[in-house]
Amino acid sequence: MKGLLLKDLFVVSEFVRVLTLMVIVFIASMMAIDGFSVIGAMISLLVVSLVISSFSYDDLAHWDSFAATLPVSRRKLVASKYLFLLLLGVLAVVFNGLVSVLFAALQPGVSLAEQFVTGILISMAACIIDFVLIPLIYKYGAEKSRMMMMMVIVVIFGITYGGAELLKMLNIGTDWITLPILIGGIAAAFLASLLISWTCSVKIVEKKEY
Amino acid sequence: MDAILSIEHLHKQYSGFELNDLCLQLNPGEVMGFIGENGAGKTTTIKSILGLIRHDGEVRIFGKPVEQLSERERGQIGVVLDGCHFHDPLTVKRVEQILSGIYPEWERTKFLQLCERFGLPLNKKIKTFSTGMKMKLSIIAALSHNARLLILDEPTSGLDPIVRDEMLDLFYDFIQDETHSILFSSHITTDIEKIADRVTFIHQGRLQFSLPKDVLHDEYGIVKGARSEIEKIDSDSLLAIVPQSLTCQGLVRNREEVRQAFGKLNVEAATLEEIMLCMVKGELR
């Protein structure tokens, strides 16, 4: 397991320089237009999407067929990818924390705690997108992952927007969605999607022929 | 002595191809050359052995059904599949760190010594490596985790003769331990002739023979002459006839007996390539 995690970390560390540059440019451009709130979301999406890049690298190296010959069960092979994603999620939260501190320092009156919680929620939401994607990648390959990622984002956005519209149509206000309820809802969605995604991925990989 | 690898009635069906009732046995200390044309079923057999595909029949390694092997036992199987499976952005040093975290009996010193012996730079990225260097890395990795069984699928294809010879030297070193075995699939019959103790030939998904190399070398022969003369050889000895432009060529076993019985025919020892060609292209008897 340790070796598998190291493999993914080493492979995506290639992107770190590019990613850092992207983040700096992005922060600078957002500061120019006071668009701080978007920065955290973008960082979360970028960091967490590194797990998709690791799948693409695995595909290029035809790693999966070799990995299936290693002294590691297929369940552990899948577990290493989920663990890697969770590590990236933690990293995204840390980056969000740093951006929140920067935001709070530059714009007086902004609540650091609120910014930080938002960062955690956004990172969890970014992980949920990957939870949906991972079984699809195991099933159809990483080549189609970019297209699938767009589709998943559109579907999730559609459901959220559709839900909000439905509440409006039913004359149900959104005042009851307080921060604790939002946190609880996203945490529940996070855990449920992790569990479903993990179960599907293990089933797909255990049946897979190379 | 228990076989290190045994295959019983292996069967795999694809649309347009069937691997049919394959039975094999590889003993400790033995190198089995596994030959056959493209699409004959070599890779399908290897994938079945390694559990990469579902199949019917039983595969036992180290005396156990392959699916019951412990992680430690699985770690004692060195595998080289076609090509290099390490990611382009990695360096050899990184590959070493990764594999040491995967194999229970990883041998760091041996890996580094072999890299040095075969001129693999530790800090260069794999994307800068030639095909030969990548294959060397795959083979060195397979030899560095206390493997008792090496399963090699076309490990020397695409390599120049010098590198191929170096790789064969590595396999010789490995097989000096009589508890070790190698299953070596290749179309390069000269490599098989150099290293194998036993040759297993598969054609269109069916086992044609699995014989000690010495038997093939000492008993098999190529006869050349008129078809009518060759057809007089009894069916126990004559294995295949290949019609050629003016004369005919036949593959026989019991070469010396045929030579004595048919003085008019030109009988010579058969190379593995000739045996393979006759059995693939000829009319089998």
Q: What pLDDT is stored for residue A34 in this prediction?
A: 65
Residue B144: phi and psi, rounded to 5, are -110, 25
Selection from A52-66, A143-157, A163-177, B223-237 with the highest mean pLDDT: A52-66
- The secondary element (H helix, E strand) that includes residue B126 is none
* Maximum Cα interatomic distance, chain B, rounded to a whole number of Å: 66
Distance CA A97, CA B100 (A): 34
CB A74 within 8 A of CB A206: yes
CB A82 within 8 A of CB A194: yes
- Residues of chain A with Cβ-Cβ distance to B146 below 8 Å are none
Higher pLDDT, B157 or A71: A71
Q: Beta B198-203 vs B31-35: how paired, if at all?
A: parallel
Best to test chain A binding among B52, B95, B106, B123 (most A CBs inside 10 Å): B52
In the sheet that holds B77-80, the strands lie side by side as: B77-80, B149-153, B181-185, B31-35, B198-203, B206-212
Q: Does the beta-carbon distance from B101 to A4 stay under 8 Å?
A: yes
Q: What pLDDT is stored for residue B27 in this prediction?
A: 95
Lowest mean pLDDT across A153-157, B85-89, B117-121, B125-129: A153-157
Lowest mean pLDDT across A108-117, B98-107, B213-222, B226-235: A108-117
Q: Does the beta-carbon distance from A69 to B99 stay under 8 Å?
A: no
CB of A72 within 8 Å of a chain B CB? The answer is yes
Q: What pLDDT is stored for residue B1 in this prediction?
A: 63
Distance CA A178, CA A184 (A): 10
Beta partners for B26?
Answer: B5
Lowest mean pLDDT across A150-159, B17-26, B129-138, B274-283: A150-159
Q: Does the beta-carbon distance from A60 to B88 stay under 8 Å?
A: yes
Mean pLDDT of B40-44: 93
Q: What pLDDT is stored for residue A27 in this prediction?
A: 76
CB of B86 within 8 Å of a chain A CB? The answer is yes
Q: What pLDDT is stored for residue B262 in this prediction?
A: 86
Distance CA A138, CA A153 (A): 18
pLDDT higher than 80, residue A106:
no
Could you give the angle at the alpha carbon of B271 between the alpha carbons of B267 and B275, nearest 5°?
Answer: 85
**Helix or strand or coil: residue A39?**
helix
Number of Cβ within 10 Å of residue B184's Cβ equals 27
Number of Cβ within 10 Å of residue B281's Cβ equals 12
Which chain B residue lies closest to A66 (C-alpha atoms)?
Answer: B85
CA distances from A150 to A76, A119, B46, B192 (A): 28, 21, 38, 51
Buried b (16+ CB within 10 A) or exposed e, B147-164: bbbbbbbbbbbebeeebb
CA distances from A97 to A43, A44, A80, A117, B241 (A): 11, 11, 26, 9, 79
CB of B125 within 8 Å of a chain A CB? The answer is no
Which chain A residue lies closest to B86 (C-alpha atoms)?
Answer: A61
Q: Name the band, by pLDDT with cuts 50, 70 and 90, for residue A30.
A: confident
pLDDT higher than 70, residue B98:
yes
pLDDT higher than 70, residue B194:
yes
CB of B75 within 8 Å of a chain A CB? The answer is yes
Distance CA B174, CA A76 (A): 30
Mean pLDDT of A88-112: 82
Higher pLDDT, B275 or A27: B275
Q: What is the DSSP letter of B271?
A: P
Which chain B residue lies closest to A5 (C-alpha atoms)?
Answer: B98
* ipTM (interface pTM): 0.87
In the sheet that holds B266-269, the strands lie side by side as: B266-269, B221-225, B248-252, B238-243, B283-284
- Residues of chain A with Cβ-Cβ distance to B102 below 8 Å are 2-4, 70-72
- Residues of chain B with Cβ-Cβ distance to A6 below 8 Å are 94, 97-98, 101
pLDDT tens digits for range B66-79: 989 999 999 999 99
Beta partners for B199?
Answer: B33, B211
Q: What pLDDT is stored for residue B143 in this prediction?
A: 95
Nearest to A61 among B52, B54, B85 (CB): B85
* Residues contacting B218, CB < 8 A, separation 6+: B255
pLDDT higher than 90, residue B29:
yes
Q: What pLDDT is stored for residue B218 in this prediction?
A: 92
pLDDT tens digits for range B216-272: 999 999 999 888 888 888 888 899 998 877 788 999 998 999 888 888 788 999 999
Mean pLDDT of chain B: 92
CB A138 within 8 A of CB A59: no
Could you give the angle at the alpha carbon of B97 between the alpha carbons of B92 and B102, nearest 5°?
Answer: 120
Mean pLDDT of B124-151: 94
Q: Which is it for the CA torsion B207, B210, B213, B216, positive or negative?
A: negative
